[in-house]
Amino acid sequence: MLLKIVQTGDPVLRQTGRTLSKKEILSPGIQQLVELMRETMRDAPGVGLAAPQVGLPLQLAVIEDDAEALSRAPKERLKSQERRGVPFHVVINPKIELVDPTPVTQFEGCLSVSGFSALVPRARGVKVEALDHKGRPVKIEASGWYARILQHEIDHLHGTLYIDRMHTRSYSTVENQARHLEGLPLKELKDLLAIKE
Ligand code: ZN
């Protein structure tokens, strides 16, 4: 069974999710939610899905950047994105620290802003402390694309979408991004779209 992914404009995407206790995490309801979110994310397909995106204001997100799917993507693109596979995992009640705040700007999309994409600057490296799907504390250190995914998903848990952080002039349909913008160096993109900052 797939869950319905809500789209921007739904107020649930603008709320801060509530934290979950260990007992709640181990409950059949949350365990089933994790399974359904995994299926929904894979079906979309996406590399992350946060509970508010399925209408639930909870501090829970699932993440997976499938290594097998990535092996079919162009190598140069993966390199420029600093992107490697990330196995499926769950982050609950996460606290994020930007350990390498160097901004990296890449095109980013969101399953709740369907059909669009934009340039979003993100910190290059982060450290996250969270609970996993069994309620156990975990520490994650990430850089590059994985750090971007974590920042994007944790933003969702605080009512923030990438459109709040994007270079507004780069906001583009996925089709036009692929047609006109894909693969261009940042400097050229900024010139082409007349992005000043
Ligand atoms: Zn999103």
CATH code of the domain covering residue 108: 3.90.45.10
Q: How many residues does the chain have?
A: 197
Among candidates 197, 192, 123, which has minimal Cα distance to 167?
197
**Residue 188 domain boundaries:** 11-192
Ramachandran sector of residue 43 (left: φ over 0; alpha: ψ -120 to 50; beta: rest):
alpha
CA pair distance 12, 10, nearest whole angstrom: 6
Answer whether residue 181 is part of any domain.
yes
pLDDT at 196 over 80: yes
Q: How much distance in Å is there from the Cα of 64 to the middle of ligand 1?
A: 13
The number of distinct structural domains making up the chain is 1
pLDDT digits (tens, 9 = 90+) for 10-69: 999 999 999 999 999 999 999 999 999 999 999 999 999 999 999 999 999 999 999 888
- Cα–ligand 1 centroid distance for 180 (angstroms): 23
Q: What is the pLDDT of residue 21?
A: 98
Q: Using a pLDDT cut of 70, give the percent of the chain over it.
A: 100
Query: Is 116 inside a domain boundary?
Result: yes
- The reported pLDDT for the residue numbered 77 is 86
Q: What is the CA radius of gyration of the chain?
A: 17
Angle at the Cα of 110 from the Cα atoms of 108 and 115, rounded to 5 degrees = 90
Centre of ligand 1 from the C-alpha of residue 75, in Å = 24
Mean pLDDT of the chain: 96
- So which residues are the catalytic ones? 153
Residue 183 domain flag: yes
Instruction: Measure the CA–CA gap between 46 and 113, rounded to whole angstroms.
Output: 12
Confidence of residue 126 (pLDDT cuts 50, 70, 90): very high
Residue 130, φ and ψ in degrees, nearest 5? -155, 180
Residue-wise pLDDT tens digits, 142-191? 999 999 999 999 999 999 999 999 999 999 999 999 999 998 999 999 99
CA of 115 to the centre of ligand 1 (A): 12
Predicted pLDDT of residue 197: 74
Domain presence at residue 156: yes
The reported pLDDT for the residue numbered 193 is: 97
Residues whose Cβ atom is located within 5 A of ion ligand 1: 110
**C-alpha 57 chain-centroid distance:** 16
Closest CA to 91 of 37, 146, 132: 132
**Is the pLDDT reported for residue 138 higher than 90?**
yes
5 part of a folded domain: no
Residue type, 197: E
Cα of 125 to ligand 1 centre, how many Å?
Answer: 19
Q: Per-residue pLDDT tens for 72-91?
A: 988 988 998 999 999 999 99
pLDDT of residue 76: 87
What's the average model confidence in pLDDT over 116-144? 98
Q: Tell me the C-alpha distance between 104 and 119, whole Å.
A: 10
In a domain, 3, yes or no: no
Q: Give the other-Cβ count within 10 Å of 144's Cβ.
A: 20
Global confidence as pTM:
0.97
